[in-house]
Amino acid sequence: MNPSMLEVVGTGLFAVAVAHTFLTKYFEHLAHLQPNHAGIWHLLGEVEVVFGFWAFVLLIFMAVTGGASAPTTYLEGLNYTEPAFVFIIMVVAASRPILELCKIGARALARYIPLNDSVAFYFVCLAALPLLGSFITEPAAMTLAALMLRDNFYAKGISHRLKYVTLGALFVNVSIGGTLTHFAAPPVLMVAGKWNWDMWYMLGHFGWKAALAVFVNAGIATFLFTRELKALKVDARSKDRTVPWALIIAHVAFLVGIVYFAHHPIVFVGLFLLFLGVAEGYRHYHDRLMLREGLMVGFFLAGLVTLGALQQWWLQDVLAGMDATALFFGATALTAITDNAALTYLGSLVEGTDEAFRYSLVAGAVTGGGLTVIANAPNPAGFAILRGNFDDEAINPLGLLVTALPPTLVAVLAFQLL
């Protein structure tokens, strides 16, 4: 390894940013202790700001050492399609017409589960919606699941333990639940074309194992908190649709179009602008659009892309030096500190790999996708939606890590033993 000065600085800033994500609650505490400087502490306490903030530090360094054109040239060489897509899909998927359609579907499924309404509805939110991510993309599934869990459970004052167990299971299930197809999960998308993986390959090698793990994880969480869930009032038979079917169908068309053109930002941005016009024209059928939350998540991911591009010098060599088993567990661990899509992309650059290497890389990357907020692109979306229901509006990264470990272990067993 002969890294350049820029790569060394980029790796140092990346490490600082990762550590920063574990300290956001401390900065929020400083904001209360030092009200005169509360603005800067609140800024540093926003998880969604972390990677974007340190990315700007990197760009300033580049401008000072390489001239004003250096950061511009660097940024123009990167691909920011995924941050833009996640922002847009988060806003569209969180619109009231789409949410009402998902509520109708979830309640219909819950009615066929011979359990208490609230227990059945909770299970559906943790099992069916993450698997839906294989078709509407993981960011959309995360947005829908997080919103439905927030409105029906988190907002009703559930226990601290249930909040974190639900969050850990949700993040892991969304990460592995997108592997039934080759186009919905970012870490799969990065390699499917190069390695000629189609839907049937994904179903046969990943999909059925992931689905089994998702149901086990959802079932364990539901079983552990059945008594608490039964005490909540969630009516699975409610029919509270307030949006006309024509508008729901139109929004589904927007969602499908944006997903279909996910790799063509000119097209999906145009569709999004048209969606905004429709939402404004029918504002009485919409709640506030999640523009601020979506932009913050997009900023987080854009910062991750900016810093992550400078990690190839060490990450690719680490991956290339592992056998299949070590690679699986190594990818699971590395995913906790770097985006799993970046991890699989870097692994795809290693030449002469066999089928075992490829399977282990992707399986490990999706398995570890729920351990931290930065592990999987959709995680910041779920984080932004749910964190307002936690103490001090902050989610403890260690709390997430601890509660995500058991469902991650279930995923490990599914992908390694089956």
Is residue 3's pLDDT more than 70?
A: yes
Query: Which residue from 285, 336, 334, 289 is spatially nearest to 312, judged by alpha carbons?
Result: 334
Query: Which residue from 398, 394, 395, 347 is spatially nearest to 371, judged by alpha carbons?
Result: 398
**Rounded (5°) CA angle 272-277-279:** 90
Its pTM surpasses 0.85: no
What is the mean predicted confidence (pLDDT) over 316-333? 86
Q: So what's the pLDDT on residue 99?
A: 84
Residue of higher predicted confidence among 5 and 33:
5
What is the mean predicted confidence (pLDDT) over 294-315? 85
pLDDT class of 400 with cuts at 50, 70, 90: very high
The per-residue pLDDT for range 43-76, each reduced to its tens digit, is: 888 878 888 999 999 999 999 999 999 999 999 9
Q: So what's the pLDDT on residue 37?
A: 85
Using only C-alpha atoms, what is the Rg of the chain? 21
The per-residue pLDDT for range 87-103, each reduced to its tens digit, is: 898 889 889 999 888 88
Is residue 38's pLDDT more than 80?
A: yes
Q: So what's the pLDDT on residue 116?
A: 87
Cα distance between residue 45 and residue 239, in whole Å: 40
Q: So what's the pLDDT on residue 1?
A: 64
The per-residue pLDDT for range 188-200, each reduced to its tens digit, is: 877 887 898 888 9
The per-residue pLDDT for range 226-240, each reduced to its tens digit, is: 999 999 887 656 566
Query: Which residue from 385, 325, 395, 333 is spatially nearest to 360, judged by alpha carbons?
Result: 325
pLDDT class of 320 with cuts at 50, 70, 90: confident
- Asked whether 210 and 164 are in contact (CB, 8 A), the reply is no
Share of the chain above pLDDT 90, in %: 48
DSSP character at residue 284: G
- Asked whether 359 and 271 are in contact (CB, 8 A), the reply is no
The per-residue pLDDT for range 134-189, each reduced to its tens digit, is: 888 888 889 999 999 998 899 988 999 999 999 999 999 999 999 998 877 878 87
Is residue 349's pLDDT more than 80?
A: no
Q: So what's the pLDDT on residue 159?
A: 93
Report how far Cα 91 is from the mean position of its chain's Cα atoms. Answer: 14
b/e sequence 39-74, b meaning 16+ C-beta within 10 Å: eebeebbbbbbbbbbbbeebbebbeeeeeeebbeeb
What is the mean predicted confidence (pLDDT) over 374-396? 85
pLDDT class of 298 with cuts at 50, 70, 90: confident
What is the mean predicted confidence (pLDDT) over 318-329? 86
Residue of higher predicted confidence among 42 and 209:
209
